[in-house]
Amino acid sequence: MNNNKWWKEAFGYQIYIRSFYDANNDGIGDLQGITEKLPYLSYLGVNLIWICPFYKSPMDDNGYDVMDFYAVDKTYGTLEDFKVLVEEAHKRGIRVIIDLILNHTSDEHSWFIESRKSKDNPYRDYYIWRPPRYDELGNRKEPTNWASFFGGGCWEYDEQTDEYYMKIFSKKMPDLNWENHQVQEEMVKVAKYWLDLGVDGFRVDAVAHLAKAPFVDSDMPTNYRYTPDWGRFSNLPKLHEYLKMMRKKAFSGYDLMVVGEVGGGALVEDALKYSAPEEEELDMVFNFDHNWCNNSWSAKDRTELKINVPHLKEMFDKWQTGLFGKAWNAIYWLNHDQPRVVTHYGDDEGPLHDRSAKALAVALYFMWGTPFIYNGEEIGMTNPHFKSIADFQDVSFITQYYLNIQNGTDPEAYIAHASLSTRDNARTLMQWNDGLHGGFTKGTPWNLINENYRTINVESQIKDPNSILNFYRKIIEIRTKSPFRNIIIYGSYELIEKEHNQIYAYLRRFEGRNLLVLCNLTKEAATVDKLPYTLEERVLGTMDKQININKKMVLEPYEAYVLEIKEEI
Closest CB to ligand NOJ among residues 104, 116? 104
499 is catalytic: no
Q: Which of 156, 261, 348, 394 is catalytic?
A: 261
Cβ proximity to ligand NOJ, 32 vs 335, nearer residue: 335
Q: Which class for 464: exposed (0-12), middle (13-18), buried (19 or more C-beta within 10 A)?
A: exposed
205 is catalytic: yes
Residue 261 within binding range of ligand NOJ, rule CB under 6 A: yes
Contact set for ligand NOJ, span 493-512 (CB under 6 A): none
Compute the least distance from the CB of residue 57 to ligand NOJ, in Å: 11
Give DSSP secondary structure letters for 36-49. Answer: HTHHHHHHHT--EE
* Dihedral angle of Cα 516, 519, 525, 527, to the nearest 10 degrees: -30
Nearer to ligand NOJ among residue 61 and residue 270 (C-beta): 61
Phi and psi, residue 344, nearest 5°? -65, -50
Could you give the CA distance from residue 493 to residue 369 in angstroms, rounded to a whole number? 11
- Closer by beta carbon to ligand NOJ, 172 or else 508: 172
> Is 61 an interacting residue with respect to ligand NOJ (CB under 6 A)?
yes
Question: x/- contact string, 210-249, with ligand NOJ (CB under 6 A)?
Answer: ----------------------------------------
Q: Does 372 bind ligand NOJ (CB under 6 A)?
A: no
Q: Site for ligand NOJ (CB under 6 A): which residue of 49, 94, 206, 415?
A: 206
Which pairing describes strands 95-101 and 201-205: parallel, antiparallel, or unpaired? parallel
Residue nearest to ligand NOJ (CB): 64
Nearer to ligand NOJ, 142 or 337 (CB): 337
- Scanning residues 168 to 197, which ones bind ligand NOJ (CB under 6 A)? 169
CB of 395 to ligand NOJ, least distance (A): 8
Give the gyration radius of the chain's Cα atoms.
24
For residue 136, give the 3-state DSSP assignment: coil
Interaction of residue 251 with ligand NOJ, rule CB under 6 A: no
Cβ of residue 413: shortest distance to ligand NOJ, in angstroms? 25
Q: Which of 205, 229, 281, 283 binds ligand NOJ (CB under 6 A)?
A: 205
Q: What is the nearest approach in angstroms of ligand NOJ to the Cβ of residue 55? A: 12
Q: Which of 61/229 has CB closer to ligand NOJ? A: 61
Q: Which is nearer to ligand NOJ, 59 or 420 (CB)?
A: 59
Site string for ligand NOJ, 66-105 (x = CB under 6 A): -----------------------------------x----
- Shortest spacing between CB 10 and ligand NOJ, in angstroms: 20
Tell me which of 107, 142, 156, 205 is the catalytic residue: 205
Length of the chain: 569
Closest CA to 430 of 403, 467, 469: 469
Report if residue 337 touches ligand NOJ, rule: CB under 6 A. Answer: yes
Inter-residue contact 23 to 430 (CB < 8 Å): no
Helix axes 181-196, 238-246, angle to 10 degrees: 40
Compute the least distance from the CB of residue 131 to ligand NOJ, in Å: 26
Minimum distance between the CB of residue 306 and ligand NOJ, rounded to whole angstroms?
A: 26
Q: Give the number of C-alpha atoms closer than 13 A to the C-alpha of residue 468, restricted to the C-beta side.
A: 24
Q: Name which of 421 and 457 has its Cβ closer to ligand NOJ.
A: 421
Q: For the stretch 217-249, what's the b/e string if a residue is b when 16 or more beta carbons lie within 10 angstroms of its beta carbon? A: ebeeeeeeebbebbebbbbeeebbebbebbbeb
Q: Are 367 and 290 in contact (CB under 8 A)?
A: no
Interacting residues with ligand NOJ between 510 and 569 (CB under 6 A): none
Exposure of 544 by Cβ count < 10 A (0-12 exposed, 13-18 middle, 19+ buried)? Answer: exposed
Kindly state whether residue 30 participates in binding ligand NOJ, applying the rule CB under 6 A.
no
379-408 residues in contact with ligand NOJ (CB under 6 A) are: none
Is 107 among the residues that bind ligand NOJ (CB under 6 A)?
A: no
DSSP collapsed to 3 states, 63-99: CCCCCEEEEECCCCCCHHHHHHHHHHHHHCCCEEEEE
CB of 167 vs ligand NOJ, minimal distance in Å: 10
Supply the minimum distance, in Å, between the C-beta of residue 170 and ligand NOJ.
8
Give the residues across from 205 on adjacent strands: 101
Helix, strand, coil shares, percent, the chain, to 5 = 35, 20, 45
**Residue among 32 and 383 whose Cβ is closer to ligand NOJ:** 383
At 15, which amino acid appears?
I
Cβ 451 to ligand NOJ shortest distance, Å = 25
Among the listed residues 64, 194, 345, 446, the single contact to ligand NOJ using CB under 6 A:
64
Residues 6+ apart with CB under 8 A from 540: 362, 474, 475, 478, 561, 562
Give a three-class secondary structure readout of 275-339. Answer: HCHHHCCCCEEEECHHHHCECCCCCCCHHHCCECHHHHHHHHHHHHHHHCCCCCCEEECCCCCCC
How many residues in the shown chain lie near ligand NOJ by CB under 6 A? Answer: 9
Stated as kind and residue range, the H or E segment containing 258 is: strand 257-263
Catalytic residues: 205, 261
* Interface residue list for ligand NOJ (CB under 6 A): 61, 64, 101, 169, 205-206, 261, 336-337
